[in-house]
Amino acid sequence: MLRFIFILIFYLIYNISFGQCIGLSVNAGPDLFKCKLSDVLQLQGDVQGNYLNYYWEPASGLSNPNVLDPIVIAGPGKYRFKLVAEGLSTTNLITNGDFEGGYSGFSHQYIYGGPPFGPDHLVVDMMPNAYNSSWSPCGDHTSGSGNQLIADGSTSAGDAVWCQIVSVTPGNMYQFSFFAQSVFPVAPGQFSIEVDGTSIGNAIAGPLCGWSSFEACFTAKSANIEICIRETSGVGYGNDFGIDDITLFEKCRVEDEVEVEIVDLKAALDVVQLPKCASEEFTLDGSRSSSGPQINYEWSSSGGTITSISGNKAKGRGQGTYILKVTYTNGNVICEEEAEIQIDVSDDLIGDLTSSGIANCSHDTVYLAIYVLNGSGFYSYKWGPTKEIVGGQNTDTAKVINAGRYSVTVTDLSSGCEFYKDIDVKSDTTLPHSVIQGDTLINCKTKSVRLLSQQQDTSRYFYTWILPDNSVVFDETELLSGQSANSG
């Protein structure tokens, strides 16, 4: 059984912005936590404002880094995922990029104006066919009726057709773009775009009167940069084009971070060796459970008794349900997983041990009898000391003849429970002691006397009289004699 408890979670929505994107905000959502790998953990990102795109970093460990709510598919551990949104500032840093200001704000390596108007010439105007009758009347990109940069491509490959120096912030990212069309259907213009002499990409003019776009991003390395568009084909026939709507926007990057923790909490409980009966102590083993510095173990029982605890192991005694609760705490939340095991054991055997008779000089048999009051009814018996048992060793009744302490171990053949009992056998080995007295004295007048034997203890005795003539009289307590006699 798994429990997931929220104690208290505070999370701060914050954005780290690179560049100036007014109104663009990112929220990666609350920190997330799950206790089991089988639980679904889904990020809860949100982006507000104008953005070009958004994505999560790193992409590994997510089902799809390009959606706001990907599923976390990582294994156990702590992770930080960053939601990044990219946008553009609203300020175009290019001066007169739509050429509506006429011939101003840029430099080049061409010849401006005409007539004559041929290769290596350019002009800012509305319609290309005004400068070459073979050119088509292709309108500008902005409105179709505004200005554009019209050029008859240079026969010197790599000449700059447009350059401008722009003030930027070193280290920030910028997006440069423009549109180009062909005004003659043969050999469209080919361009290399450079920032401070380093190429950031290539472009080809669109088809006849068809605008194609170019877009590239770069990171500014200095406060003032020069951007140039160079025609690289150097073709003399064709290579006639228009350029319009040149832009440079600072690229914005807004990000927010979320922490994800995945705990595969496990609770497992084993008993290595089951007890035979209720009084036998046994070991509860939770070592297959999760472990670590933030893991705690709590033991409890219903019916049985926990006798000692040592981390993920404990000792128990008795029949009942034993429970191990494993807890993981990360400061904000608690995971709890429980495992339990039912111990069913037989009750302890109980019984009585009795003896009949006492040990004596005649070596009379003393009987020891064990009476088991519960259990299955199928038992084995072991009497001790073995050398003193003269009969009945493997039965419920043993025979002895000597005094001493005797014991019996009874084992229930069904449950394995054992029962131990001992008893002391007493003895009576006192020698007979008696006094013989006559009822009178033998004299000249009295020729006989009655002899009386008086016992001095309570034991049973057998009497033997030995007369002067060595004849014997047995089992008489009185004897009439006219002369002295011996007794024994």
Please write the tens of the pLDDT for every residue from 185-243.
Answer: 999 999 999 999 999 999 999 999 999 999 999 999 999 999 999 999 999 899 999 99
Dist. CA 321–CA 338, nearest whole Å: 12
In eight-state DSSP terms, residue 150 is E
Amino acid identity of 374?
N
* Same domain as 275, residue 234: no
Decide: 237 and 186 in contact? Cβ < 8 Å: yes
**Of residues 420, 428, 419, the one with CA closest to residue 459:** 428
Domain CATH number, residue 271: 2.60.40
Q: How confident is the model at residue 5 (pLDDT cuts 50, 70, 90)?
A: very low
**How does 282-298 read in b/e, with b if 16+ C-beta sit within 10 Å?**
bebbbeebbeeeebebe
Coil vs helix vs strand at 429: coil
* Same domain as 243, residue 115: yes
Total of domains in the chain: 5
Q: What is the pTM of this model?
A: 0.54
Identify whether 302 is part of a domain: yes
* Same domain as 279, residue 238: no
The rounded percent of the chain whose pLDDT value lies above 90 is 67
Burial of 469 (0-12, 13-18, 19+ CB in 10 A): exposed
Res. 128: pLDDT tops 90: yes
* Same domain as 397, residue 301: no
Identify whether 117 is part of a domain: yes
Dig out the tokens for 483 from the structure. 């002369």
* Same domain as 368, residue 338: no
Dig out the tokens for 271 from the structure. 């008993």
Identify whether 195 is part of a domain: yes
The pLDDT of residue 458: 44
Dist. CA 308–CA 289, nearest whole Å: 19
What CA–CA distances, in Å, run from 99 to 94, 141, 144, 150, 450?
Answer: 11, 11, 13, 11, 168
Q: What is the pLDDT of residues 355-377, one digit of tens each?
A: 998 887 766 889 999 999 888 88
Which of 153-167, 352-366, 433-447, 453-467 has the highest mean predicted lDDT (pLDDT)? 153-167
Identify whether 238 is part of a domain: yes
* Same domain as 475, residue 396: no
Identify whether 324 is part of a domain: yes
* Same domain as 285, residue 225: no
The pLDDT of residue 90: 87
* Same domain as 452, residue 422: no
Q: How confident is the model at residue 479 (pLDDT cuts 50, 70, 90)?
A: low
Which has more confidence, 57 or 465?
57
* Same domain as 286, residue 240: no
Q: Given 61, 92, 123, which residue is the final one in a domain?
A: 92
Omega of the bond prior to 58 within 30 degrees of 0, cis? yes
Domain that holds residue 17: 7-92
**How does 3-36 read in b/e, with b if 16+ C-beta sit within 10 Å?**
ebeeeeeeeeeeeebbbebeebbbbbbebbbbbe
Identify whether 474 is part of a domain: yes
Identify whether 476 is part of a domain: yes
* Same domain as 366, residue 308: no
Domain CATH number, residue 376: 2.60.40.1080
* Same domain as 173, residue 118: yes
Res. 296: pLDDT tops 90: yes
Identify whether 102 is part of a domain: no
